[in-house]
Chains A and B, each alone.
Chain A
Amino acid sequence: MKKIIYTAISLLLMNSMLHAQEKYSDTTEVVSIKEIILIGSHPQVHQKEPKPLGSIDEYLETSAKINMIKRGAYAWEPMLNGMTTERTVITIDGMRIFGACTDKMDPITSYVEISNLSEATISSGQQGAENGATIGGSIDLKRRKTGFNETGWKVGANTGGESNGEQKIVGAEVQYADNSFYFNTDFMYRDAENYKAGGNREVLYSQFTKYNFSAITGFKLSETQSVEGSFIYDEANDVGYPALPMDVSLARAIIGSVKYEHHQLSETIEHWETKLYFNTITHQMDDSKRPVVPIRMDMPGWSDTYGFYSKVNMSLDKHKLTANLNSFYNKSLAEMTMFPNDPNENDMFMLTWPDVRTLYTGLYLEDVIALTAHYSLQLTGSLGRHYNKVASTFGLQSLQIFYPEMTESKQRYLKSLSSQVLLNKKNMEYTLGMGYGERAPSVSEGYGFYLFNSFDGFDYIGNPNMSNEKSVEMNASIGFENKKWNAKLTGSYFHIMDYIIGKPDFSLSPMTIGANGVKVYEQLEYASLFNSDISIGYSLHKNWNWNGKLVFSYGRDNNNINLPLVQPLSYQTSLQFRKALFSIETELQGATKQQDFSPEFGENETAAYAIVNLSASQTLFLNRQKMTVKLGAENIFDTYYSTFSDWNNIPRRGRNLFVNLSYVIQ
C-alpha cells in the first residue's frame, strides 16, 4: 500500500507519467522494448524535482512485470515475470551485487534508496542478458546524478511521517554541478515501528531502522572523456521479519565504482564506457528479540563481489551495435551457530554457504537493425563462462556427506540468443520475439546446506550436480496510442527445461526443530510460465487522467501441477486530477482469489481483496525555495488482506495516513 501511496504521490507531484512506462521510439530511432520505471522527476517536466520518499519496492511493484515477495515491512524480494532472484539479474548501474542472506532477506533493491535512483530499466527475458545470464530478465537500477551542467549548488531536505507504523523519514541532499564537474550526495534515514494490519491488528516484528548515504561525482577529462566515481553506504538495523522466525540485527552494504567514459571515439563508435566496481555485504540474522524460540542461533552471511564491464555502442548504417564484456568474482559465505539450551554443550556450527566463489565472464552482443522506416529487428547473443568453487574444506566435506563424489569446482558455459521484430505504424506498435537462454544454479541451489524455508517449513539442501536451466521464450505485444488513448497488451511465455526446484526427500531428517522435512534441489523436465498484462490510459480532460491495468499469470510444471508464487488475476485502476501545482489521485487495487496455488510450497488459497488509496499534493514556490507537501491515505477502508506473494500470508498494512514534506533551495 505504501507503494501505492508513493506512486500516487509521485504521480501527483510531478505532473509526469510515472507509472511504468515503456520507452520506445515512434520514428527513426529504434530502441529495444524495455520497460522503464521513472523514479522521481521526469527530466522534461520540472527540472530536478525533489524525489518522493517512497521505497523502491513500492515503485518497482507498479510495473506489471514485477511482483514483490514480502517477508516484512522492508526489503521485499522482486520477482520479474513471476520469477524470483535466482532467475533474474538485478544490477545497480550495471554492477552485479549478490545478497548475503541465505533467506533472501536482503535483495539488492534493499541496498539503495529511491532518492539515489533515477530509473529502473526492466528487460524481459533474454533482452536482459546484457549484464549476465538470466531466464526471467533483468532490472537495472540507474543512479541519479546531475551530470555536467550549470545547475550549481542545490540543497534539499525531506521529511515524512506515517501514521501506521509510525515511520519517520528524514533526508538531506547536497549537490553541485558545472560543465566539467559534478558532485551529488544524498542521505536518507528511516525508522519505523510495527505496522498494523486492517482492523488495527498489530503485526509483531515488522519494525525497521535504516540509513543510506550515497555520493557520486564526475570529472571531465576532455570534451569527450570523463571519469566518474560512486559510493553507497547502506545500513539497516533492527529489521523485523514477521514472516520469518528470525530478524536482522545488521544488513550493511558498501558499494563503490569507478567509471571511465568516452563519447564519439570515431564516426562509428559513439560511446565506450568501462567500469570497475566492488561491493561488500554483511548480513546478520538475529533472534534475540523473539521471546520464545526452540533454540537460539546466529546466522551471519557475507557476500563480496568484484567486477568490471566494458561496453561499446556503435552505429553503422542501419545497425546499432552494442557489445558488452563483463566479469565478476563473488565470494559467498554464510554460517549458522546454534546455542544449545544446555550451556555445558558445545555450540553447533555449520556452514550454510560453504564459501562459494563464482567467477563469471561473458560477452554480450546486440544489433538493432532498422529494416525499413517501420520495421526493425533486434538480435542479441551472449556467451558466458561460469565457474564455481567451494573454497572451504569444511564446507566441501559437509556437502560430501550428501554427494560423496562431489569435487570442489564446476565450470559451465551459458548461452543466450534472442530476436525481436518491431513494427511501428501509425498509432500502432507490434512486437514479436523469441529467445533462448541458460542460467547456472544459484549458490543456495547448488551449495546450500540446511537452509530453512519458513514458507513450506522444509530445510533445503543444494545440489552441485545440476545442469544448466534452459529457457525458450516467446513474447508479443500490441500497443496503441493517440492523443486521448493509450493501450498495450503484452504477453510472454517461458518454457523452462531442467527447471530447478526443491523436492522433498523423506528419507532425510530435518535439522531445523519443527521442520516438515528436507527438500533437495532437483530439476523438473520442464515448467511453463505465462504472463500477460493489459494497460489502458485515457485522458478524460486536460486535467483528468484515467489508468487501468490487468495482469494475468500462469505457471505449471511438467505434471501440470501449479508452480509456487504465481500471481492471480490482478487489477489496478486510478483516476488523477492535476492542475498547476496541485494534484489528487484515487486508486483502486486488488486481485481475485488465488486458486492456482502450490500446497507443496506451503501456499494456500489467498482470498480476493480490493483496497482504495487516496492522495494529494501541493507544491509551493518562494523565490528560489520550493516546498512540496504530500498528503495521503492508503487502504482507506482498513481492509485486512494479504496477497499471493506475502510470505506465510502475513497481512499487509491497514489504513495509513502519511505526510511528506520536501524543501529545496537552489
Chain B
Amino acid sequence: MKFIRAITILCLAIFTSCSTDSDEITPVNEVADLVKIQTMENDTHLVELYSIDGQLEQGYNKVSLRIKNKIGQKFVSDATLEWKPIMHMEATQHSCPVSEVTKKPGTESLYEGFIVFQMAENQTEYWTLTLNYAINGVDYTLTETINVPASTRRKVTVFTGTDDVKYILALIDPSEPKVATNDMSVGVFKMENMMTFPIVNSYKVKIDPRMPSMGNHSSPNNVDLTQSSADKFYHGKLNLTMTGYWKINLQLENALGEVIKGEPVGDTNEASSIFLELEF
C-alpha cells in the first residue's frame, strides 16, 4: 500500500518535473515558507527537518523534511520513510502519536507528517527521532536527539478515561486564534502500548471556552468537535469574543455518547479536569 502510494507520488513527481522542465528553469524553493529545525545526518545522507517556526514543541507539530544525498548534493525524491520519536525517561521509554510520512503534494523532495509530543523534555529526560527510509530498495536509518521544550500554554492533554484507556488529546487548530469564529480541530489518540498510539474513531469532543481572568465567562454558539472522515481529526467551531487567555474546557464522549472524561463547567465547577489553553 505504502509502496503503491510512493510509486504514484514518484510517477506524479517525475511527470510534473518533466512537464515543468521545459518552461521553468529556476528551481522552486520548496521550503520558502518553512524554517529549518535542524539537520540530521548519517554516512550517506543529510536530513533537514522543517516546521513553520523552526521549532518543535510539546503538543501537535507539523513537521516537514527533505533528504539530501551527500554525494552529488541532490535532494532525494523517491524515498519511502517512517519516523519514530522516542522519549527516554529515567525508568522507561515510550513513543507518541505520529502520522505517516508522505510526499507533500506539489513538491518534489519534501515529505511531511505530524508528531504529537505528549510531554516535554526536561533535564534528565529527552526525545530522539529515528528515521527509517528506503531509496531504490536500499534501507537507511538515522537517529538524533531533538529538542522538545514545554509549551507555554497547554496544547496537549493526557488522561485515563472511565474505560481505563489512556488518551492523548492534542490541539491542532486554531494555531493562530482570532477574535472571531475559529475553526477548531484536535487529534484524539489512545495509548495501545508504549509504542503505539492509534487515532480514536467516532468519539465526540465537547468544548466550553472560558476566561478565568474575566469571571470565567464563556462564549456563545460554539460547535462541539466531531470526527471528519477526511483527516480523522475532530473538527468544530470555537468562538473567542476577545483576546487574552482562554481555557478550553473539554469533555470526551465515546461512540455511545457516554462522557468518559471531563466535567461540565458551571457555578460550582470552575473548570473541567481536561482542558486546552489558548492565549493571544
Contact = CB atoms under 8 A, between A and B. Distances in A.
Contact of A349 (B219, B221, B242): B242
Interface size band for B:
20 to 34
Contacts of B181: 397, 400-401, 404
Given A338-B214, A511-B242, 9 more contacts: A340-B244, A341-B213, A342-B213, A345-B279, A350-B179, A400-B180, A401-B180, A511-B214, A511-B215
Contacts of A147: none
A349 B280 CA distance: 10
A115 B208 CA distance: 56
B43 to A, nearest CB: 47
Contacts, number: 85
15 contacts: A336-B242, A341-B213, A345-B279, A346-B243, A346-B279, A347-B243, A347-B244, A348-B245, A349-B243, A350-B241, A400-B181, A401-B180, A404-B221, A509-B219, A513-B215
Interface string A319-342: 000000000000000001010111
Nearest to A520: B220
Nearest to B178: A397
Contacts of A346: 243-245, 279-280
Nearest to B180: A397
Interface in B226-260: 239-245
B212 to A, nearest CB: 9
Nearest to B179: A398
Interface residues of A, number: 32
Contacts of A341: 213
Contact of A401 (B213, B239, B243, B279): B239
B213 A345 contact: yes
A348 B220 contact: no
Interface in A391-412: 394, 397-398, 400-402, 404
B244 A507 contact: no
B6 interface: no
Contacts of A431: none
B245 A345 contact: yes
Contact of A402 (B213, B215, B220, B240): B220
Interface string A428-447: 00000000000000000000
- Give 7 closest A-B pairs by Cβ, nearest first: A397-B180, A348-B244, A513-B215, A509-B218, A350-B242, A340-B213, A401-B239
A512 interface: yes
Interface string A498-525: 0000000001111111110000000000
B211 interface: yes
Contacts of A350: 179, 241-243
Contacts of B243: 346-350
A294 B280 CA distance: 22
What's the dominant secondary structure at chain A's contact region?
A: loop
A345 B217 CA distance: 16
A348 B211 contact: yes
A468 to B, nearest CB: 26
A56 B279 CA distance: 47
A95 B280 CA distance: 42
A6 interface: no
Contacts of B280: 346
Contacts of B219: 401, 509
A450 interface: yes
A449 B279 CA distance: 21
B241 to A, nearest CB: 6
A511 B213 contact: no
Nearest to B279: A346
B220 to A, nearest CB: 5
A340 B245 CA distance: 9
B215 A294 contact: yes
B273 to A, nearest CB: 21
A665 interface: no
Contacts of B217: 509-511
A295 interface: yes
Nearest to B211: A348
Contacts of A338: 213-214, 242, 244
Contacts of A295: 213-214
